[in-house]
Amino acid sequence: MSLKKSRKGPQPHRFGRHPGVFWGGLCLIAACVFSLVQCQCSREASSTAPATGTTIWPYGQPEYQIELPEGYEGLLPASGTLPSDQATPQSTPAGKTAEASEPATKPEEAPQVQSERVPASKASPARNQRKDATAVASSHPTLIIVIDDVGYNLKELEPFLKLPFPLTIAVLPQVDHTKEAAQAAKAAGKEVILHQPMQALGGNNPGPGAIYVDSNEETVRNTVTKNLDEIPEAVGMNNHMGSAVTRDSKIMHIVLDIAKSRGIYYLDSLTTSDTVTASICRELSMPYWERDVFLDNKGDRKSIRAAVEEGKKIASSHGAAVLIGHVWSAELAQTLMDIYSELVDEGYSLSTISHYMLEQSKAGEKENARPGD
């Protein structure tokens, strides 16, 4: 008997006769699912931090809430804004603790500093606006906190507007939320200044509304005037970047002349040691201040606390210290709230530049002496 060998044809693949079609279809389905997930994530991200035409700030959008230390819950209004009669704690002299029989939050009238402008004739320039160390013992050393880079995002500004003490908000011009940020800051009882972008030595882009060392006088005047007109709440001005411009006498003469004509002060952020603004302000006899400490060079809470300690030493020696932080610093608002009660108990006052100058001017009038003498 002969055996016939059966000829077996090609066996079907486990995924069918055309595996390429199968894998191609599977990849297409996976791609569709991935696209749907990405779209959903994009919608969620845009709902919390919408990106618009001028949102070029390289930092992320921090998520944080203000937490009050125990016993200070009543300081923070539920609405997130400070009414005109919002109470703030009374300071005790530096080096002394509050009496046990007194509440830690003895109220005093909160200053409405937005409309207070000190005439140039009553404001002495540069460091002379601060008290001598000999006068500090009989008064409260003052910390002046400025928050820079405001305007790109409103959400990151909210925690700072909820802080129950005087604060200065430096608003960038010509960005997404310039006007809304300035209005919100004023409504919250904070002082508002223009954060004027200026050319930096390193070549970093200072953003919209900037002035440059090669700009002619007309361009500088038009730019600064436009920026100030956009922020009518501003009672002062400081530089954003600007290590190149603040060294340039010609450009700074123009900028400071505009500031003087507007009746506002100038705060030098001191991004360079070669700044010429102090000498020009003395020449123009206009209000001028300098930054003493950057609060968030590193950004962690320990470093911020160390920066505040440095500011306290300067304030104790000179009467006041200017501390600059940034709105995108995720740990800053909460850290300031955490140490607020400590500052009050140690006798430090928190104020703004315009209010401090006004108080100095009043003190000079009472003593029949010119401020700065």
pLDDT of 362: 75
pLDDT at 188: 96
Question: What contacts 159, CB < 8 A, 6 or more positions away?
Answer: 64, 65, 66, 333, 334
| pLDDT for 346 | 95
- Give the list of residues 6+ apart from residue 21 with CB closer than 8 angstroms, or none: none
pTM of the model: 0.66
Are 181 and 85 in contact, with CB atoms under 8 Å apart? no
What are the tokens at 136? Answer: 């500090």
pLDDT at 241: 93
Q: Amino acid letter at 138?
A: S
* pLDDT at 136 (0 to 100): 42
For residue 109, the model assigns a pLDDT of: 30
**Dihedral sign for Cα atoms in the order 189, 312, 365, 124:** negative
DSSP 3-state assignment of 323?
Answer: strand
pLDDT of residue 120: 36
Q: How far apart are CA 347 and CA 97, in angstroms?
A: 8
Residue 346: how many other CB atoms lie within 10 Å: 19
| Count of H-run helices and E-run strands, the chain | 10, 11
Cα–Cα distance list, 103 to 91, 241, 372 (Å):
11, 43, 36
Dihedral sign computed on CA atoms, order 245, 114, 351, 338: negative
> What pairs with residue 210 in β-bridges?
none
Q: Are 112 and 349 in contact (CB under 8 A)?
A: no
Q: Output the pLDDT for position 253.
A: 97
> How far is the C-alpha of 338 from the C-alpha of 68, rounded, in Å?
7
DSSP letter for each residue of 295-317: S-SS-SHHHHHHHHHHHHHHHHH
Q: What are the DSSP calls for 185-235, one per residue?
A: HHHTT-EEEEEEEE--TT-----TT-B-TT--HHHHHHHHHHHHHH-TT-S
Q: Which two tokens stand for residue 263?
A: 């009746």
pLDDT score at 78: 38
Structural domains of the chain ordered from first start: 132-366 (3.20.20.370)
Listed as ranges, residues in the chain with pLDDT below 70 are: 1-138, 364-373
CA distance 166 to 120: 23
User: In this structure, what token pair is assigned to residue 125?
Assistant: 């320039």
Q: What is the DSSP letter of 132?
A: P
pLDDT of residue 251: 97
Residue type, 213: V
pLDDT of residue 34: 59
d(CA 191, CA 358): 14
**The predicted structure's pLDDT at residue 106:** 29
d(CA 189, CA 181): 13
